Chain A
Amino acid sequence: EPEVTQTPSHQVTQMGQEVILRCVPISNHLYFYWYRQILGQKVEFLVSFYNNEISEKSEIFDDQFSVERPDGSNFTLKIRSTKLEDSAMYFCASSTEGSTGELFFGEGSRLTVL
């Protein structure tokens, strides 16, 4: 069964360092997303991406964050200068359609900022 895959599963980094989280969405999906979940809190929307550009982003997704689809399969989230409060589980998701499509999530990348 097709699935969304994410790497790394866990990354520990020092405050101020750059981090890149990688995702391979399901191959025939067109819409890609990043969500995050701080420990004990709700899953929060970060950004949606369609047709090689950002279609929607939340107030969390500030200038420290960027997304890219460098090739036909990968979808990355970059955090330029990590802060302690960026520590969270980051989930990549994809769907065939935007507002009407079923969302499929990866297993997540746990980011720990020290």
Chain B
Amino acid sequence: KQEVTQIPAALSVPEGENLVLNCSFTDSAIYNLQWFRQDPGKGLTSLLLIQSSQREQTSGRLNASLDKSSGRSTLYIAASQPGDSATYLCAAINNFNKFYFGSGTKLNVKP
């Protein structure tokens, strides 16, 4: 069974800092890895999808990389802003058509 782990569980940084969130998965036979943002009491907003043939995806200040062989993905957030404060979840999907989620990294960006 796929196990997805996210480190750190929580992170507090001053505004403007660049930061990296880590995601690791045990089964490298994944099709996709997707990063989500979750605000308190809300749904999951898709940030970036990396397909297994890709190594990275970029959207604005966000960059996600994928290294299947080592079972790792990172989400890089440049020039963090208070509005980036949320929980960030990564999820890996394998050939059984279901996503396995990590526990998330709770990010607090201080003004």
Contacts and interface: CB of A to CB of B under 8 A. Distances in A.
Interface of A: 31, 33, 35, 41-45, 48, 50, 55-56, 58, 91, 93, 98-108, 110
A9 B96 CA distance: 29
Interface of B: 31-32, 34, 36, 41-46, 49, 51, 89, 91, 93-104
A61 B35 CA distance: 25
B46 A102 contact: yes
A108 B43 contact: yes
A100 B52 CA distance: 9
B46 A45 contact: no
Contacts, number: 61
Given A43-B89, A43-B101, A99 B44 contact: no
A21 to B, nearest CB: 13
B43 A107 contact: yes
Contact of B34 (A31, A91, A102): A102
Nearest to B36: A105
A43 B44 contact: yes
B57 to A, nearest CB: 11
12 contacts: A42-B101, A42-B102, A43-B44, A45-B98, A45-B100, A50-B97, A55-B97, A99-B32, A100-B32, A105-B36, A105-B44, A107-B42
Contacts of B100: 45
A99 B93 contact: yes
Nearest to A98: B97
A101 B93 CA distance: 10
Contacts of A41: 103
Contacts of B34: 102-103
Contacts of B89: 43
Given A100-B32, A100-B51, A102-B34, A58 B101 contact: no
B97 A56 contact: yes
